[in-house]
Amino acid sequence: MSKINIYYFSGTGNTDFVVQKLKIHLEKLDNMVAIFSCENVQEITMDCDIVGIAFPIHTSHAPEIFSQFLDKFPQQTNMPLFGVVTSGYMAGDVLDYETKKLKQKGYKPFLLRNIVVANNMHLPYVCPLEVTPNKIIEKRLDKIEKKIVDISIKINNHIKDIRGNDLCGKIFGILQRSIGDMHEKNSFKGFSCSNSCVSCSWCVDNCPTNNITLGTKTVIFGESCILCMRCYNFCPLNAIQMTHKTENTKYYKRFKGIENKGHKTTFK
């Protein structure tokens, strides 16, 4: 039996879904598992035998909030580490890339895996990628569950399974980090709020970086958005826009989460 702490960030619930399942399966294998969203952690304690990290891939990076959180991990001596990333399509070397600084602090990655869950973002300017429709998510659930079981067994038995740091993964990661970042910066012009806002304050209360303030029948965005897509996707009135184009919510459908709960999802 091992004591396992898993630290994670989830913008729209996919990573949270995976981490909750991972906990269930690891506990079935007699491990003691504690999970912590980085949004709620005051102090990082390494009172465990194995540490896990999980986050959504953002163009071959971890979301900024999580990479800054990783910077706060304390120095260790040979602490076994596993990492799980969730994606909409595919991941390259992102886990290898993000765990480099942890290796320098004495963490020993033995399992790094990607799970394709669902895409939660589109950029209407250049590339109107669809968020993954529910019909496809339902078909994927079995595969996702099987992957989580496989990952749990490997963590339980300390079996090495590092993926994404081969040549293909590295090339994909490098290209995404350069071209993807540039593309994102040029194509994302910030969020605005349309007049369907009813000042319910859900987005204000749930933004992980406290980037949103409430106005009168509107909300105002600050400068610390990490593009987690939570407010844009889960606003119950679909009032948050990327341009006037996204007011057409039939075409620019919002991602309401893997279990379709939208703003009923709890984050804080």
Ligand X SMILES: Cc1cc2nc3c(=O)[nH]c(=O)nc-3n(C[C@H](O)[C@H](O)[C@H](O)COP(=O)(O)O)c2cc1C
Q: Does 169 bind ligand X (CB under 6 A)?
A: no
Residue with tokens 């009813």: 198
> Which is nearer to ligand X, 107 or 267 (by Cβ)?
267
Q: Is 92 in the site for ligand X (CB under 6 A)?
A: no
Q: Is 58 in the site for ligand SF4 (CB under 6 A)?
A: no
123 binds ligand SF4 (CB under 6 A): no
3-state secondary structure the chain: CCEEEEEECCCCCHHHHHHHHHHHHHHHCCCEEEEEECCCCCCCCCCCCEEEEEEECECCECCHHHHHHHHCCCCCCCEEEEEEEEECCCCCCHHHHHHHHHHHCCEEEEEEEEEECCCCCCECCCECCCCCCHHHHHHHHHHHHHHHHHHHHHHHCCCCEECCCCHHHHHHHHHHHHHHHHHHHHHCCCCEECCCCCCCCHHHHHCCCCCEEECCCCEEECCCCCCCCHHHHHCCCCCEECCHHHHCCCCCCCCCCCCCCHHHCCCC
CB closer to ligand SF4 out of 61 and 113 = 61
Least distance between ligand SF4 and beta carbon 20 (Å): 21
- Of 8 and 80, CB closest to ligand X: 8
- Under the binding rule (CB under 6 A), the answer on residue 227 touching ligand SF4 is yes
Q: Mask: binding to ligand SF4, 175-214, rule CB under 6 A, as x and -?
A: ------------------x---xxxxxxx---xxx-xx--
Find the binding residues for ligand X in span 217-236 (CB under 6 A).
227, 229
Shorter beta-carbon distance to ligand X: residue 26 or 62? 62
Smallest distance from ligand SF4 to CB 249, Å: 13
Binding-site partner at residue 165 among ligand X, ligand SF4, none, CB < 5 to 8 Å by type: none
Binding site for ligand SF4 (CB under 6 A): 193, 197-203, 207-209, 211-212, 219, 221, 225-232, 235, 237, 239-240
Binding site for ligand X (CB under 6 A): 10-15, 56-60, 86-90, 117-121, 176, 227, 229
